[in-house]
């Protein structure tokens, strides 16, 4: 279902007419003329508004807004959370004009490949124009969720100043701000309940002790997450903060908090449901005797989520045994532990649903997971060594074990050096609930290591057998056949990632012609060119974006697309190639294409060409 903003374009012109229509209607009512039509409409609108308040799903709301103008209006007035998947698809002004009573905003900026250094810095996704507009239009704003946006300290200051009832700030993969910005939020947002920094890049240039800036008398904090902060914090201030935040349920500290300090925090907050354990290693020169971590963990009866373990000393892992039976989410993705160190922990985690781990645990560790965690829904296995190699610590053996043990699996992200079609097919058969399947064979173009065949059949089985699949990332040696399977069976797929795959334009054509629900397509280093690009012309306005880097698309090809579809912005960058004089290349480095109600953005940097 296309996003709200698509409908806006069609109805924008109507909005003005509707406004005019409404006033005519009221005029009719007051003069006591023919009133058979307006009353039922008005009543219906009131009823609708009261009903719609309960409708939270944005896709449902988008459907509602398409019924007729009156429903469109009612929906616009009752939508309290707006979700903007691409900050450039709509301007802040336009959003604020349609949705006037918004209390929560989700705003996403850069596409995902920006996380992997494929996007030049200063590309855009600035929060500033949004916060300025919202400061005027949404004074009652309570929640803000930003992902991959560029947020400055000034933006945070405007935010803190403008929203008196502000409650929740979640910044995911954002950058551009520092401790000064955090300090302003901490001190000014007195109603703050959620303050989450997730994988954000926070600069320490200002060296402001932001943890000391929270209200002295006590806070309403329920969630404080700062495990991504890469510099030391004032621990005494943190301890004091935890002591005076009686509602605190989630606390994830960074790696500059050692075991002794963690112990002190846990004593103060046994009510925690979610704990990020920091470094999980003792301080360098322990003064006192070892803290009684086991008691501290035992006291946390409500703990269901554990993470951190940034510099784990495995000797201390047994301290978590008391909570294993209850935890549903465990993040060991920074813990460099072996299978033997994992086993005693995992064998108690019967209720585990979400598990993130480093491949240091090897296939053996994954087998242990498969043996115990029958309720597992999400698994992520990260590589400790990301260089391409022949053999790695996890392989098809681990994947096979997981597929046999964890039949309720819904989401998997698996990094490995080699894989077999058989294991992938096995997973497709054993785990019918799979919604997200992301397999990253680090060795590029690697075939099935036991048969030498391409990985086509494995991925084909996934799209064929996993009927609920909406997100797929492929890797390994793949021919156009794999793409034909995806196009043929991936009818519900919304997000696709391709890298170093495919033989020819046909591959991309199969996908663009077959996957009717496709919304996000990210491609790098595949041999797809203009002809393939053209085959998606019918569909681009239904997508959030298309990213193609280091493929065979030419400037001319991109220009054609830009000319043929209105309301789709075609950005082309050339940022790592400097041509010699007289050298001509028509090939484009990166193509980033997205639908938008606005024209080309004004804040594009020099290396971006908007066609």
Three-state DSSP state, 172: strand
Interface region with another protein, contact rule CB under 8 A, candidates 347-355, 421-429, 444-452, 594-602: 444-452
- Our CB check for another protein shows the closer of 11 and 359 to be 359
Q: How many residues does the chain have?
A: 611
| Interactions with another protein, residue window 477-496 (CB under 8 A) | 477, 479
Interface region with another protein, contact rule CB under 8 A, candidates 9-17, 147-155, 185-193, 583-591: 583-591
In angstroms, the CA 576 to CA 462 distance is 36
Interface region with another protein, contact rule CB under 8 A, candidates 31-39, 148-156, 294-302, 545-553: 545-553
Q: What is the nearest approach in angstroms of another protein to the Cβ of residue 524?
A: 7
Q: Residue 599, Cα to own-chain centre: how many angstroms?
A: 26
**Interface with another protein includes 575 (CB under 8 A)?**
yes
DSSP letters of 256-285? TS-HHHHHHHHHH-TT-SEEEETT-S--SS
Task: Print the binding letters for residues 331-370 with another protein: x by CB under 8 A, - otherwise.
Answer: --xx-x-x-------------------x-x-x--------
**Interface with another protein includes 503 (CB under 8 A)?**
yes
Tokens of 327: 């935890």
Task: Print the binding letters for residues 22-61 with another protein: x by CB under 8 A, - otherwise.
Answer: ----------------------------------------
**Interface with another protein includes 605 (CB under 8 A)?**
no
Angle between helices 480-489 and 456-465 (to 10 degrees): 0
Q: Which of 383, 460, 487, 557 binds another protein (CB under 8 A)?
A: 383
Helix then strand then coil, % of the chain, to nearest 5: 40, 20, 45
**Interface with another protein includes 252 (CB under 8 A)?**
no
CA angle 115, 120, 122 (to 5 degrees): 105
Q: What is the nearest approach in angstroms of another protein to the Cβ of residue 74?
A: 42
Strand-strand pairing, 590-595 and 545-549: antiparallel
Q: Which of 283, 388, 451, 563 binds another protein (CB under 8 A)?
A: 388
Compute the half-sphere exposure of residue 314: CA atoms within 13 Å on the CB side of its CA.
13
Q: Residues 97, 123: contact at Cβ < 8 Å? A: no
Q: Which of 83, 99, 113, 145 binds another protein (CB under 8 A)?
A: 113
**Interface with another protein includes 215 (CB under 8 A)?**
no
Q: Residues 191, 168: contact at Cβ < 8 Å? A: no
Tokens of 189: 């947002």
| DSSP secondary structure code for residue 170 in this structure | E
**Interface with another protein includes 231 (CB under 8 A)?**
no
**Interface with another protein includes 198 (CB under 8 A)?**
no
Q: What is the nearest approach in angstroms of another protein to the Cβ of residue 64?
A: 37
Least Cα distance to 441 among 485, 480, 477 occurs for: 477
Q: What is the nearest approach in angstroms of another protein to the Cβ of residue 272?
A: 24
- Our CB check for another protein shows the closer of 41 and 115 to be 115
In angstroms, the CA 307 to CA 330 distance is 6
Determine how many CB atoms are found less than 10 A away from the CB of residue 187. Answer: 15
Element of type H or E holding 27: helix 4-30
**Interface with another protein includes 389 (CB under 8 A)?**
yes
Q: In angstroms, how far apart are the furthest CA atoms of the chain?
A: 88
Q: Which residues bind another protein (CB under 8 A)?
A: 113, 115-118, 120-121, 173, 199, 201, 228, 230, 255, 310-311, 333-334, 336, 338, 358, 360, 362, 382-389, 393, 415, 440, 442-447, 477, 479, 497, 499-500, 503-504, 524-525, 527, 550-552, 575-580, 583-587, 589
């Amino acid at each position: 279902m296309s996003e709200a903003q698509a409908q806006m374009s069609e109805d924008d012109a109507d909005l003005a007419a509707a406004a005019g229509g409404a006033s005519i209607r009221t005029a009719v009512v007051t003069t006591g003329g023919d009133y058979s039509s307006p009353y039922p409409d008005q009543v219906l609108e009131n009823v609708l508004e009261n009903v719609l308040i309960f409708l939270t799903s944005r896709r449902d709301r988008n459907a509602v807004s398409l019924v007729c103008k009156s429903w469109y209006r009612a929906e616009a007035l009752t939508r309290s959370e707006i979700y903007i998947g691409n900050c450039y698809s709509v301007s802040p002004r336009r959003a604020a004009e349609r949705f006037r009573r918004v209390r929560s905003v989700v705003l996403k900026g850069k596409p995902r490949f920006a996380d992997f250094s494929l996007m030049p810095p200063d590309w855009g996704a600035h929060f500033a124009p949004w916060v300025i507009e919202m400061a005027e239009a949404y004074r009652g704003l309570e929640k803000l969720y930003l992902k991959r946006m560029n947020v400055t300290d000034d933006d945070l200051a405007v935010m803190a100043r403008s929203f008196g009832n502000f409650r929740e700030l979640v910044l995911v993969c954002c950058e551009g701000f520092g401790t000064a910005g955090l300090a302003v939020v901490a001190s000014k947002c007195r109603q703050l309940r959620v303050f989450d920094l997730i994988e954000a890049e926070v600069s320490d240039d200002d060296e402001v002790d932001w943890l000391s800036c929270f209200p002295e008398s006590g806070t309403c904090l329920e969630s404080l997450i700062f495990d991504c902060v890469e510099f030391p914090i004032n621990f005494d201030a943190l301890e004091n903060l935890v002591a005076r935040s009686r509602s605190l349920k989630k606390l994830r500290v960074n790696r500059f908090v050692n075991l002794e300090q963690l112990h002190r925090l846990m004593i103060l907050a046994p009510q925690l449901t979610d704990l990020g354990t920091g470094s999980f290693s003792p301080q360098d020169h322990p003064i006192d005797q070892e803290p009684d971590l086991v008691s501290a963990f035992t006291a946390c009866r409500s703990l269901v989520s554990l993470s951190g373990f940034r510099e784990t000393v495995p000797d201390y892992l047994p301290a978590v045994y008391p909570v294993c039976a209850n935890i549903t989410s465990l993040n060991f993705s920074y813990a460099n532990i072996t299978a033997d160190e994992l086993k005693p922990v995992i064998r108690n985690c019967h209720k585990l649903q979400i598990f993130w781990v480093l491949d240091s645990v090897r296939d053996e560790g994954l087998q242990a997971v498969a043996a115990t965690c029958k309720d597992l829904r999400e698994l992520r296995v990260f590589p400790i060594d990301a260089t391409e190699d022949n053999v790695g610590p996890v392989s098809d053996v681990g994947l096979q074990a997981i597929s046999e043990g964890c039949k309720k699996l819904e989401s998997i992200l698996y990094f490995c050096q080699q894989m077999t079609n058989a294991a992938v097919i096995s997973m497709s058969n054993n785990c019918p609930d799979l919604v997200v399947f992301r397999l990253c064979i680090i060795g590029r173009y690697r075939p099935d290591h036991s048969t030498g065949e391409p990985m086509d059949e494995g991925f084909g089985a996934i799209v064929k057998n996993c009927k609920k699949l909406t997100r797929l990332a492929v890797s390994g040696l793949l021919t156009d056949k794999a793409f034909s399977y995806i196009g043929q069976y991936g009818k519900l797929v919304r997000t696709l990632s391709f890298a170093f795959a495919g033989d020819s334009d046909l591959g991309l054509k199969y996908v663009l012609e077959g996957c009717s629900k496709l919304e996000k397509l990210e491609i790098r280093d595949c041999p797809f060119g203009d002809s393939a690009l053209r085959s998606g012309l019918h569909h681009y306005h239904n997508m959030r974006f298309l990213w193609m880097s280091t493929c065979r698309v030419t400037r001319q090809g991109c220009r054609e697309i830009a000319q043929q579809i209105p309301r789709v912005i075609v950005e082309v960058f050339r940022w790592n190639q400097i041509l010699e004089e007289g050298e001509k290349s028509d090939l484009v480095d990166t193509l980033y294409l997205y639908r938008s109600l606005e024209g080309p953005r004004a804040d594009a940097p020099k290396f971006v060409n908007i066609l």
